[in-house]
Amino acid sequence: METRSSKKKRLALMITMFEHSANDNEDRISDLPDAVIHQILFLLPIKSIAQTSVLSRRWKYIWHSLPDLDFTSLPSGTIKSSNKKGVNSSNNDTSGAEFINQVLSLREKQFEIRTLRFCACLTFSRLNSLIRSAVKHNVQELDIEVATNDYFNFPRSVIICDTLRVLKLKSRYPGFRLPPPGIMGAGFRSLHALSLSRLILHDQPSLTNLFSYPSFPQLKKLNLDACYGLKHLNISCRALEDLILENCAKLEDLDVTCLKLEKLKVLSCFDAYSMSSSVKIVAPRLRNIFWSYNKITESSSLQNLTSLCEAYVGFFILHEELSEAKLGSVANFLAGISHSESLTLDSQCVEILSKNRHMGGIVIQPYNKLEFLELRTGFNKHNMPGLANLFRSSPIIHTLIIKIIDNHSAERRLWNRDLWKFSNTGDERYWESQSRALKSFLHHLKVVKMHGFSECENDISFVKFLLKHGKNLHQMFLITGISRTSRDSLHRENIKSQIMGFSRASSNATIIFQYEIL
């Protein structure tokens, strides 16, 4: 991927070439085919491209026929702030919007637009006018970010555009509304990718029939962000491969049945106070699922996720006691991703697995394909039952990564450096009691990385346990965060020497100490 510095150098080189082309008698660039010049010009800011039109009649033609128009580099067209009270009227119809309008109005109809991008503060009438001009030129990709004085309605002209393949519509403030379902469902026959941000659905909180095969027969990518008022969402597009759903805090029901879906990302969704929330996912081809900071639903059903390779799971829970229904929902969710080969669990997941033991806790279905496990947890004695539960259910783990989150409220006792040879702490006794149940896990484990490792009893007892029973352990990385002003190097060296003296079941096991500056 091209870096920002290399791109700047390339842009500078292009500008220099154009300057030489304008001054030299021999114009080599003008001899290139139109398509090649269009590709070169696309790397330049839009106003620099417009300035080339004065070079000659050929360059004027090149400018008017440019298929990719990116106006996001216009300073006056950039949305500078998200004013909560609305967009100041003095910012509307800026010179940037005027420039966009002039470019589109002077463009002849036979010159089609492949890509149109702009970011502006403008009125809804001006927005509609710009979009209608783009549709007249058979636009294929439309990427718009706008701020308006008031809510605006979804531009109907794009619904019936047969050439449109990609549509990205983002409202900074205050948002936009959809037309009636009958009108929405009548278009988008050729759309491949759709991204909508800040969609207002208070008057129509249900989208149970919109995203289905009849309405979007060729849709492959769908991104819905900040859909305010959305409660019920049903997605069943036959061609859908990539789905992203973010910031839908009022969502109660999510039903995704897509036989070709490969990637799913759901972030900051669901209503924590709903008594009937649910999630259902049927996606036999799903390979990646990213489920983060979502409230726990009353019920979960993840079916046929047999192709799953990577899963990231994180829940947002309030401080009240979890109900039995929500515990069961978490268990069903974790069972649904049991085919995953790589799994990352956020700190709340480990806590959920460790708490509410008076209800029987959560029984995890075996992860018989899981080889990579990453846990983000406040490593303490309260989380040990959840960790053991996970390890028992992961019999063939190859790599274990633990990122310790500093929880100041948790008990983190310092390691007894003087009596370590003779002491048998509560943490050690607990892990030793689990050694038989964790036999398969311990025999397959080869690589361990502990980020945030400290001289606390919890950390060192677990390290001692893994070294004592990990028969195939090859590498153990202990990564400690230290401040720039830390001077307790002698203390760290003492802890290091004690760990190096622990007995090891594997003669090939190496311990690597690393330090990160905080």
The mean pLDDT of the chain is 84
> According to the model, what pLDDT value does residue 382 have?
82
Tell me, yes or no, whether 124 lies in a domain. no
Q: Are residues 265 and 376 in the same domain?
A: no
Pick the closest to residue 384 from 429, 317, 327 (CA basis). 429
What CA–CA distance (Å, rounded) separates 155 from 175? 13
Q: Which of 259, 294, 328 marks a domain boundary? A: 328
More confident residue, 283 or 421: 283
**Which whole number is the average pLDDT over 219-223?**
97
**Which whole number is the average pLDDT over 184-191?**
82
> According to the model, what pLDDT value does residue 505 have?
95
Query: Are residues 364 and 353 in contact, defined by beta-carbon separation less than 8 angstroms?
Result: yes
Q: Are residues 313 and 396 in the same domain?
A: no
Pick the closest to residue 298 from 281, 322, 264 (CA basis). 322
> According to the model, what pLDDT value does residue 73 have?
82
Please report how many Cα atoms fall inside a 13 Å half-sphere around the Cα of residue 257, on the Cβ side.
Answer: 8
Q: Is the pLDDT of residue 314 over 50?
A: yes
Pairing of strands 447-451, 475-482: parallel
What CA–CA distance (Å, rounded) separates 464 from 496? 12
Angle at alpha carbon of residue 236, lines to 235 and 239, rounded to 5°: 115
Q: Is the pLDDT of residue 34 over 50?
A: yes
pLDDT-derived band at 458, boundaries 50, 70, 90: confident
Contacts of 418 (CB under 8 A, 6+ apart): none
**Which whole number is the average pLDDT over 266-291?**
95
CB burial class (10 A; 0-12, 13-18, 19+) of residue 5?
exposed
CA 286 vs CA 210, 212, 260: distances in Å: 22, 18, 8
Q: Is the pLDDT of residue 12 over 90?
A: no
Lowest mean per-residue pLDDT among 43-57, 167-181, 285-299 = 43-57
Q: Which two tokens stand for residue 292?
A: 């983060």
Q: Which of 262, 293, 328 marks a domain boundary? A: 328
Q: Are residues 312 and 439 in the same domain?
A: no
> According to the model, what pLDDT value does residue 237 have?
93
> Taking the model in full, what pTM does it have?
0.86
What CA–CA distance (Å, rounded) separates 465 from 379? 15
**Which whole number is the average pLDDT over 29-34?**
71
**Which whole number is the average pLDDT over 99-110?**
83
Lowest mean per-residue pLDDT among 183-187, 190-194, 268-272, 280-284 = 183-187
Say what percent of the chain tops pLDDT 70: 83
**Which whole number is the average pLDDT over 148-156?**
86
pLDDT-derived band at 59, boundaries 50, 70, 90: confident
Q: Is the pLDDT of residue 54 over 50?
A: yes
What backbone phi and psi angles, to 5 degrees, belong to 207?
A: -120, 60
CA 415, chain centre distance (Å): 39
pLDDT-derived band at 9, boundaries 50, 70, 90: low
**Which whole number is the average pLDDT over 62-79?**
77
Q: Is the pLDDT of residue 514 over 60?
A: yes
Helix (H) or strand (E) holding 433: helix 426-433
Q: Are residues 284 and 427 in the same domain?
A: no
Q: Are residues 425 and 318 in the same domain?
A: no
Q: Is the pLDDT of residue 81 over 60?
A: no
> According to the model, what pLDDT value does residue 88 have?
40
> According to the model, what pLDDT value does residue 3 have?
57
Query: Are residues 459 and 404 in contact, defined by beta-carbon separation less than 8 angstroms?
Result: yes
Tell me, yes or no, whether 447 lies in a domain. yes
More confident residue, 120 or 85: 120
Q: Are residues 381 and 483 in the same domain?
A: yes
Tell me, yes or no, whether 129 lies in a domain. no
- Most confident range, picked from 132-136, 219-223, 375-379, 492-496: 219-223
pLDDT-derived band at 356, boundaries 50, 70, 90: low
Tell me, yes or no, whether 147 lies in a domain. no
Pairing of strands 278-282, 206-212: unpaired
Q: Is the pLDDT of residue 173 over 50?
A: yes
Pairing of strands 176-177, 232-236: unpaired
Q: Are residues 205 and 304 in the same domain?
A: yes
Q: Is the pLDDT of residue 75 over 70?
A: no
Q: Are residues 396 and 477 in the same domain?
A: yes
Q: Is 20 helix (H, G, I), strand (E, B) or coil?
A: helix
What CA–CA distance (Å, rounded) separates 130 from 24? 38
Q: What residues make up the domain containing 518? A: 371-407+414-518
CA 1, chain centre distance (Å): 19
Q: Are residues 291 and 425 in the same domain?
A: no
Q: Is the pLDDT of residue 359 over 50?
A: no
Tell me, yes or no, whether 312 lies in a domain. yes
Q: Are residues 505 and 437 in the same domain?
A: yes
**Which whole number is the average pLDDT over 148-167?**
89
pLDDT-derived band at 339, boundaries 50, 70, 90: very high
Q: Is the pLDDT of residue 306 over 90?
A: yes
Tell me, yes or no, whether 431 lies in a domain. yes
Q: Are residues 317 and 452 in the same domain?
A: no
What CA–CA distance (Å, rounded) separates 467 from 473? 8
Q: Are residues 259 and 394 in the same domain?
A: no
What backbone phi and psi angles, to 5 degrees, belong to 213?
A: -60, -45
Q: Which of 276, 303, 328 marks a domain boundary? A: 328
What CA–CA distance (Å, rounded) separates 289 from 266? 8
> According to the model, what pLDDT value does residue 28 have?
63
Tell me, yes or no, whether 242 lies in a domain. yes
Please report how many Cα atoms fall inside a 13 Å half-sphere around the Cα of residue 486, on the Cβ side.
Answer: 14
**Considering its fold, how many domains does the chain have in total?**
3
Query: Are residues 445 and 473 in contact, defined by beta-carbon separation less than 8 angstroms?
Result: yes
> According to the model, what pLDDT value does residue 219 have?
95
Tell me, yes or no, whether 503 lies in a domain. yes
> According to the model, what pLDDT value does residue 23 have?
56
